[in-house]
Amino acid sequence: MSAAAAPLVPGSLRALLRAHRTCRRCGRGYPIAPACVAAALDPIPDSACRRCAQRCAGGRCPSLGCRRGRLRIGTTRCVLGYHCGAARALVLAAKDRGSAPAATLLARLLVGWVADTPAVRDYDVLVPVPFHPATVRGRRWHPLTAIYLEALPYLRGRVPCDDLAPPFLAQTRPITAQRGRAEAARWRAVHGVFALGFRTRMLRGAHVLLLDDVMTSGATVSECARVLLDDGGAATVDACVFVRQPWRGRAGGVI
């Protein structure tokens, strides 16, 4: 995908992608290593919370899910880093504006991240967070699912993947818009929203990597993890997200 064909890709990333055409690390193949565009990103520091990737304050994680022990995932891995700057613009271009070039770039970055992360090979299956059909109305496609399906042919052989036929997870009802809501309200909104897509023994004892686009409170991935662990019998569930919403410390926990 050329930068000229992708006007909704942030300018700082377009400049790096132009230089990336001759990258010796990635060559001219499909994957793009996030490290190759790191200059446009805000990476997760080593001092961040290992469970939810949030920046710690005074040595403690400010996330409600961590503070109250609600988060059911073990570790959060971030493809791009924090949800700001060029990474935020890219994700929003795919999610809110339906930019196919932005979705394709995110898929290529996901494949590049998987190729460069040896720990991913320890997982038994990569499972995307599902969606409810009602949430697609008025949009060209469901952004995360479109990104996942775009990347799927290149992910196979690197990590076992949910082929979505049928999916391991299903969303049983739509979730109301979450932006601007307090953390506690986000947790209440997703309770009981997800279920197993079908009954199977394939998840028993499995180490699952759960894929989502943005982690804000962690409520969505945690509820999905609860289903995989309690109903599916998975041994562990970790999260892989493109970006982590940084904590702003606003009153009432609104992030």
Report the alpha-carbon distance of residue 90 to residue 108 in Å, rounded: 13
pLDDT tens figures, 171-221: 999 887 667 678 888 888 899 999 999 999 999 999 999 999 999 999 999
Looking at the DSSP assignment, which residues form a beta bridge with residue 254? 182
Inform me whether the pLDDT recorded for 2 exceeds 50. Answer: no
For the ranges 17-21, 49-53, 134-138, the maximum mean pLDDT occurs at 49-53
Output 180 or 151, whichever has higher pLDDT: 151
Q: In 3D, which of 78, 84, 95 has the Cα closest to residue 35? A: 78
Q: Are 170 and 130 in contact (CB under 8 A)?
A: yes
> Which residues lie below 8 Å from residue 3, measured CB to CB, with a gap of 6+?
9, 14, 15, 17, 18
pLDDT above 90 for 126? yes
How many folded domains does the chain comprise? 1
For 4, counting Cβ atoms within 10 Å of its Cβ (0-12 exposed, 13-18 middle, 19+ buried), the class is exposed
Q: What is the pLDDT of residue 249?
A: 56
Report the relative pairing of strands 236-244 and 76-82 from DSSP bridges. parallel
Res. 28: pLDDT tops 80: no
Q: Is pLDDT at 251 greater than 50 in this prediction?
A: no
The residue segments making up the domain with residue 79 are 3-253
Q: What is the pLDDT of residue 185?
A: 86
Higher pLDDT, 138 or 223: 223
What is the structure's pLDDT at 162?
Answer: 98
Question: DSSP characters for 195-244?
Answer: EESS--STTTT-EEEEEEEEESSSHHHHHHHHIIIIIT--SEEEEEEEEE
What phi and psi, each to the nearest 5 degrees, are found at residue 13?
-75, -35
pLDDT, average across residues 239-249: 88
Which residue in this structure is represented by tokens 């943005």?
Answer: 214
Cα angle 74, 54, 51; round to 5 = 10
Greatest Cα pair distance in the chain: 48
* pLDDT score at 14: 74
**Residue 153 vs residue 4, higher pLDDT:** 153
What pLDDT was estimated at residue 226? 98
What pLDDT, on a 0 to 100 scale, did the predictor assign at position 221? 97
